[in-house]
Amino acid sequence: MKKRQLGTSGLQVSAMGLGCMGLSYGYGPATDKHTAIALIRAAVEHGVTFFDTAEAYGPFTNESLLGEALAPYRDQVVIATKFGFKDGDVNLGLDSRPQRIREVAEAALKRLKTDRIDLFYQHRVDPNVPIEDVAGAVKQLIEAGKVQHFGLSEAAAQTIRRAHAIQPVAALQSEYSLWWREPEAEILPTLEELGIGLVPFSPLGKGFLTGAISENTTFDSTDFRSIVPRFTPAARKANQALVDLLGQIGAQKKVTSAQIALAWLLAQKPWIVPIPGTTKRHRLDENLAATEIELSADELRHIESAVSAIPVQGARYPEHLQQRVGR
């Protein structure tokens, strides 16, 4: 597995990480614990050194799962987790008060069975707490040796700058893929200027870019996609054109649609590290193999030209969740 550095922070990780949320939360019933641990450990054996979780995933169960799965490999891997929701529950609203950040850190250390959090993200920007106070609280945790690096998630460019001035931001986690390219306008240039890495979540469009989802797919009531405008049957039917295009390009290179989508992301900047999630071993293998795919300048131009001609239908989030983005 190739390595990448997240910006100028010195934080080196595998070129692709593993997003672990879906093992416990967000996409239907939780995966059986033994199956989930086996998947995480298979990722380690494949050279993955970057694992993403949060107190809100479960809540709490995902951190505990990672703590158990990664205990034998702790010094070989980088674990990222997050704070920012009241009592760890996304339904209760935001809470990034410094006291709460310290409490989350202490609890996460126990669940993760570790003495340090490698990368500690603010999960969403809290409009009620100045970002300078948030950065200051994490700075204190870094000085205490409990946290190694500071991260933000879905923050706006100006917020990133303000936080970075107090405590250098190692990485921004935000959605970025061939069907959500908004970060290209303002976020990517800001990160490049400041030397901050980008960790794209949902790099496969919450599974849509794999080609495994059609207009006829039904989602479990606990699956987040059941309330997302972009995943209505009409939107899925309209957006199928993008998946078909990726399939055609993949067929020419004898790789899958998902692998083209991931290889495209990796080709954008050397400091981008996607974290696709999966519950299936064959999908893990497929995703990680994308790190070996080289797209030529001509191929990238072709993808750019073809994709830009396909307007993606449907909002990324329902309105009440969109309000938490880019503050």
Task: Give pLDDT tens digits for 284-307.
Answer: 999 999 999 999 999 999 999 999
Cα distances (angstroms) measured from residue 131 to each of 7, 88, 315 = 21, 19, 27
Can you give the pLDDT at residue 243? 96
Pairing mode, if any, of strands 3-5 and 12-14? antiparallel
Question: What mean pLDDT comes out for the span 138-166?
Answer: 98
Could you read off the pLDDT of 68-114 as tens digits, one per residue? 999 999 999 999 999 999 999 999 999 999 999 999 999 999 999 99
Strand order in the sheet with 50-52: 18-19, 50-52, 78-83, 117-122, 147-153, 169-175, 197-201
Could you read off the pLDDT of 255-295 as tens digits, one per residue? 999 999 999 999 999 999 999 999 999 999 999 999 999 99
Q: Which two tokens stand for residue 280?
A: 């299936």
Q: Which of 27, 57, 121, 176 is catalytic?
A: 57
Can you give the pLDDT at residue 318? 93
**Is 27 labeled as catalytic in the residue annotation?**
no
Alpha carbon distance 256, 268 (integer Å): 19
Alpha carbon distance 88, 107 (integer Å): 11
Q: Which two tokens stand for residue 198?
A: 């980008």
pLDDT above 70 coverage of the chain, percent: 100
Can you give the pLDDT at residue 56? 98
Alpha carbon distance 37, 160 (integer Å): 34
pLDDT above 90 coverage of the chain, percent: 99
Can you give the pLDDT at residue 200? 98
**Nearest-CA neighbor of 279 among 180, 212, 221?**
212
**Nearest-CA neighbor of 258 among 233, 236, 282?**
282
Can you give the pLDDT at residue 130? 98
Alpha carbon distance 318, 266 (integer Å): 28
CATH topology for the 3-205+269-293 domain: TIM Barrel (3.20.20)
Could you read off the pLDDT of 192-245 as tens digits, one per residue? 999 999 999 999 999 999 999 999 999 999 999 999 999 999 999 999 999 999
- State CA 10 to chain mean position distance: 19
Contact 77, 49 (CB under 8 A): yes
pTM for the complete prediction?
0.98
Can you give the pLDDT at residue 128? 97
Mean pLDDT of the chain: 97
Can you give the pLDDT at residue 28? 93
